[in-house]
Amino acid sequence: MSEKQKFTEDELAKIVELREANAQKITEFGQVELEILLTNQRIEALKDAKNKLQEDYVGLQDKEQDLIKELNNKYGAGTVDISSGEFIPSNWLFD
């Protein structure tokens, strides 16, 4: 069996430098993975918010259609002047 031998200071410094560089890269990989995880969670939260907004928008469209039907039944076909609050019948536009 061979005798123990000591590394030179330069060789030992290179080994320590490589180990520290490897440890740093492992830490950086972990940080990147954590950022990916957090980004994916944020994307999921944004998708959920988007879906909720879409549902709300569809609900508003349904309410709008119901109001149009209600007003058409009450006043007939026409338009609304929001600034004056007046209903203008469709047949009035052609007179």
Q: Residues 6 or more apart from 18 whose CB is under 8 A from it?
A: none
Q: Model-level pTM?
A: 0.63
* Residue ranges of domains in the chain: 9-93
- Distance between CA atoms of 21 and 14, rounded to whole angstroms? 10
Whether 80 has a pLDDT exceeding 90, the answer reads: no
Predicted local distance difference test score (pLDDT) of residue 79: 87
Q: Which tens digit of pLDDT belongs to each residue from 7-48?
A: 999 999 999 999 999 999 999 999 999 999 999 999 999 999
Whether 93 has a pLDDT exceeding 70, the answer reads: no
Predicted local distance difference test score (pLDDT) of residue 9: 97
Residue 80 contacts residue 68 (beta carbons within 8 Å): no
3-7, 30-34, 72-76, 91-95: least confidently modelled range: 91-95
